[in-house]
Amino acid sequence: MKDGRFLTLGIETSCDETAASVVADGRFVMSNVISSQIDIHTAYGGVVPEIASRKHLERINDVIGKALEDACVSAKDIDLIGVTCGPGLVGALLIGVAAAKAMAYACDIPLVGVNHMHGHIAANYLEHKELEPPFMALIVSGGHTEIVNVPDYNKCEKLGGTRDDAAGEAFDKVARVIGLGYPGGPKIDRAAKEGDPDSIAFKRVYLEQGSLDFSFSGLKTQALNYLNQERQAGREIDVNNVAASFQEAVVEVIADKAVMAAERYGQKQIVMAGGVASNSRLRALMEEKAGRKGIKVLKPSPVLCTDNGAMIASAAYYAYRSGVKPDLELDAVPGLEF
Amino acid sequence: MKAIDQSTILLKNEDDTRALGLRIAEALEPGDVVALIGDLGTGKTALTKYIASGLGITEEINSPTFTIVKEYRSGRLPLYHFDVYRLGSGEELLDIGAEEMLDGDGACVIEWADIVADVLPEDALAIHLEYGENEGERIAEFL
């Protein structure tokens, strides 16, 4: 506690960012330190688990130290520690969990484990100070494509998810085959701005009538078939057109389903979360489609869309306030579900 | 594992992939490893889905690329579904604790298995998948 404010330290190491942050009263970001490994992983076309764990280990103490320093607080001011306990890469998660446990034990601070996905949703509480549940959440990232009904703080009900590849994964894979490289999302977004989204007729995959699930694997195959065809015919491939058409096929389905879910559950607002929520075309299309139905779309700024400690701190704060018991024995759970 | 006595199978459509998946599932025993090799989009995850369904697994099987491995316990045998696309070597697979899954109480299906071939058991069922001549066709070759 400092100046009457409840301080939460959030720690996040589930994938390729080593991150820590101090958040006051669950809403106000006092510091947000993110040490990214993207440059390291670019060379490999994706996250490399072994390298990721080693880098987390090298950086975690400095990152936590910097988060306290930037917030002008010391460990004794911290009222609660929140740490991502899953889902994620097991070796990576363990580093954050071990660091959090050690600090919680040494400084006698309550510790709660946070579901990474709840963290992504909570990023919106930091961005939009007035936001309160209920709302519909759309989480789109490298590992997830999910529609989640949020009736209350710390209550999440998953309505649909991907049956094969996540949206961000499809972006990464297609970016790789058209030579754009890693990370695929931002590169396709940029290339798509120079291309024509109607130039190639990629199928929109809606699955069964009314389904809130997604499937992007077939679209990836369509893109590969198209590239093979064109190469065999000796035609030059317009990377920007492929990027634009592919992106449109992905984001149109996502936006339609998110709006359908909000309507079905009578939600007046949709919050976007996860790395792919930064995609400019998805953001625009969501506004357009939801706007037509009188549904408001809330988006966190790009820095809060990527993995960060602040969103974990906010989720931990609301979990703790909702009565989740602190647990010094908590474990990393790589396959943690909602 | 009971041997599958064909070296190459033409999978004309998804129904053929399903039939192959179910057949593999029927033969699986604890400790068995199915090694899938093939380019993006050749149907590795699709085949895995049908193997899982043949084992009686009721959960949704989706790509484990993000976490490298997902486990499913609702079927006749536990299934460990790996996607090692992001790994550099077999050693890295062992680093994430795969040893007890490879030689464990369930069956393993490993996508992009060529990357980690050096640490897989010799009796693994290796299947190479590639595009067939016509759209939707795949060729499964047992190595």
Give yes or no: residues A194 and A72 share one domain. no
Per-residue pLDDT of B36-47, as tens digits, reads 999 988 999 999
Q: Spell out which residues of chain A touch residue B99, defining contact as CB-CB under 8 Å.
A: none
Q: What percent of chain B has pLDDT over 90?
A: 66
State the Cα–Cα distance between residues A283 and B108, nearest whole angstrom.
39
Q: Is the pLDDT at A42 greater than 80, yes or no?
A: no
Give yes or no: residues A166 and A234 share one domain. yes
Q: Is the pLDDT at B77 greater than 60, yes or no?
A: yes
CA distance B27 to chain A (A): 25
Q: What is the pLDDT of residue B60?
A: 87
Q: What is the pLDDT of residue A295?
A: 98
Please give the residue that has the higher pLDDT: either A28 or A142: A28
User: Would you tell me which CATH number, out of the four given (3.30.1510.10, 3.40.50.300, 3.40.50.1860, 3.40.50.2300), belongs to the domain B8-142?
Assistant: 3.40.50.300
Give yes or no: residues A261 and A275 share one domain. yes
Give yes or no: residues A104 and A83 share one domain. yes
CA distance A51 to chain B (A): 9
Mean pLDDT of A288-300: 96
What are the sequence ranges of the domains in chain B? 8-142
Give yes or no: residues A282 and A150 share one domain. yes
| Region of poorest pLDDT, from A44-48, A191-195, B51-55 | A44-48
Domain range for A188 is 134-301
User: Does A334 fall in a domain?
Assistant: no
Q: What is the mean pLDDT of chain B?
A: 90
How sure is the predictor about A44, in pLDDT bands with cuts at 50, 70 and 90? Answer: low
Q: Is the pLDDT at B3 greater than 60, yes or no?
A: no
Give yes or no: residues A274 and A140 share one domain. yes
Total domains in the fold of chain A: 2
State the Cα–Cα distance between residues A135 and A262, nearest whole angstrom.
8
Q: Is the pLDDT at A98 greater than 70, yes or no?
A: yes
Q: What is the pLDDT of residue B87?
A: 83
Mean pLDDT of A40-64: 78
- 8 Å CB contact of A169 and B65: yes
CA distance B76 to chain A (A): 20
Give yes or no: residues A55 and A143 share one domain. no
Q: In sequence order, what are the beta bridge partners of A183? A: none
**Residues 62 through 91 of chain B touching chain A, CB cutoff 8 Å:** 62-63, 65-71, 85-88
Q: What is the pLDDT of residue B14?
A: 92
Per-residue pLDDT of A108-147, as tens digits, reads 999 999 999 999 999 999 999 999 999 999 999 888 899 9
Q: What is the pLDDT of residue A41?
A: 64
Mean pLDDT of A9-24: 95
Per-residue pLDDT of A322-331, as tens digits, reads 999 999 999 9
Q: What is the pLDDT of residue A48?
A: 66
Give yes or no: residues A171 and A142 share one domain. yes
User: Does A1 fall in a domain?
Assistant: no
> Which ranges of chain A does DSSP label H, i.e. alpha helix?
38-42, 49-70, 90-107, 116-127, 167-177, 184-192, 217-232, 239-264, 280-292, 302-305, 309-321
State the Cα–Cα distance between residues A89 and A87, nearest whole angstrom.
7
Q: What is the pLDDT of residue A45?
A: 61
Q: What percent of chain A has pLDDT over 70?
A: 96
Give the residue on A whose Cα is nearest the Cα of B46. Answer: A164
- CATH number of the structural domain spanning residue A12: 3.30.420.40
Q: Are strands A111-115 and B69-72 parallel, antiparallel or unpaired?
A: unpaired
Please give the residue that has the higher pLDDT: either A190 or B60: A190
Give yes or no: residues A71 and A206 share one domain. no
Q: What is the pLDDT of residue A15?
A: 86
Q: What is the pLDDT of residue B88?
A: 81
- Cβ-contact B27, B2 below 8 angstroms: yes
Give the residue on B whose Cα is nearest the Cα of A144. Answer: B66
Q: What is the pLDDT of residue B98?
A: 85
> What is the CA angle A21-A301-B64, rounded to 5?
75
| Region of poorest pLDDT, from A48-52, A58-62, A166-170 | A48-52
Q: What is the pLDDT of residue A43?
A: 61
- 8 Å CB contact of A161 and B88: no
Give yes or no: residues A289 and A144 share one domain. yes
Most confident segment among A62-71, A159-168, A214-223, B1-10: A62-71
Q: Spell out which residues of chain A touch residue B62, defining contact as CB-CB under 8 Å.
A: 161-166
Q: What is the pLDDT of residue A53?
A: 82
Q: Does the beta carbon of B3 lie under 8 angstroms from any beta carbon of chain A?
A: no
Residue among B60, B66, B70 minimizing CB distance to A169 = B66
- Cβ-contact A281, A275 below 8 angstroms: no
Q: What is the pLDDT of residue A24?
A: 98
**Helix, strand and coil in chain A, % to nearest 5:** 45, 20, 35
| Region of poorest pLDDT, from A115-129, A192-206, B22-36, B60-74 | B60-74
How sure is the predictor about B96, in pLDDT bands with cuts at 50, 70 and 90? Answer: confident
Q: What is the pLDDT of residue B1?
A: 60
- 8 Å CB contact of A143 and B67: yes
User: Does A62 fall in a domain?
Assistant: yes
Q: In sequence order, what are the beta bridge partners of A82? A: A10, A112
Instruction: Write the burial class of residue A134 (CB in 10 Å: 0-12 exposed, 13-18 middle, 19+ buried).
Output: middle
Nearest to A278 by CA among A247, A249, A314: A247
Mean pLDDT of A234-243: 96
Give yes or no: residues A34 and A144 share one domain. no
